[in-house]
């Protein structure tokens, strides 16, 4: 899985993306003075009822993400290969 086809992005969450299969991913970014790496987000239940994802230590419901989603056709590399490092 070297490249990821992005179908959806989310307003207010520029580092959260979704593919056309319903899988959500977090792109590398810096938040709260910590560097976050690329990862697949796991669906969790908050209070056993509300489905959503934990994003930067905060719970965001699936319905909230659906309301702010917009279509974006992009291809993103999941691994960075540098055969000849610049240093």
Q: How does pLDDT run across 62-79, given as a tens digit for each residue?
A: 999 999 999 998 888 777
Q: Is 82 within a domain?
A: no
| Domain membership of residue 24 as a residue range | 3-77
CA distance 57 to 14: 16
Q: Is 53 within a domain?
A: yes
Q: Is 51 within a domain?
A: yes
Query: What is the domain count for the chain?
Result: 1
Q: Is 37 within a domain?
A: yes
Mean pLDDT of 22-46: 85
Q: Is 83 within a domain?
A: no
Q: Is 63 within a domain?
A: yes
Q: Is 84 within a domain?
A: no
pLDDT for residue 86 is more than 60: no
Question: For residues 50-69, b (16+ Cβ closer than 10 Å) or e, as one string?
Answer: eebbebeeeebeeebbeeeb
Residue with tokens 């909230």, as numbered in its chain: 64
């Amino acid at each position: 899985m070297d490249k990821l086809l992005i179908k959806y992005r989310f307003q207010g969450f520029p580092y959260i993306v979704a593919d056309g299969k319903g899988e959500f991913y977090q792109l590398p970014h810096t938040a709260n003075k910590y560097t976050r790496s690329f990862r697949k987000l796991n669906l969790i239940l908050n209070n056993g009822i509300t489905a959503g994802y934990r994003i930067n230590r905060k719970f965001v419901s699936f319905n909230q993400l659906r309301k702010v989603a917009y279509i974006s056709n992009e291809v993103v590399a999941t691994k960075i290969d540098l055969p000849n490092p610049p240093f």
